[in-house]
Amino acid sequence: MDQADIENLTFEAALSELEQIVRNLEQGQAPLDESIELYQRGDKLKRHCEARLKAAQARIEQIALGPDGQPQGTKPFDAD
């Protein structure tokens, strides 16, 4: 799989593969070259997951309440 394949993964599929890579690296049984390839792929998967989360957060909206406590519309989500 290359970068284009990663970009087509759902968040859940990318996270699942990333978790498997972490388990494989933690076991420490892969040869050095394979470990490096796994690490590089894991880094790409991590970046993909972060981008998907950021995009999802940008789509989330909060309900804005007026002074009387009644909903008046929506506003962008502010994670702070």
Instruction: Give the amino acid at 79.
Output: A
- Which pLDDT score, from 0 to 100, does residue 28 have? 94
Q: Cα separation of 29 and 46, whole Å?
A: 22
**Is the model's pTM score more than 0.95?**
no
Quick one: angle between helices 32-59 and 11-27, nearest 10?
150
pLDDT of the residue at 39: 97
What domains, with CATH codes, occur in the chain?
A: 3-76 (1.10.287)
User: What is the rounded end-to-end Cα distance, in angstroms, of the chain?
Assistant: 36
For 24-76, how does the pLDDT look when each residue is reduced to its tens digit (9 = 90+)? 999 999 999 999 999 999 999 999 999 999 888 777 766 677 788 777 777 77
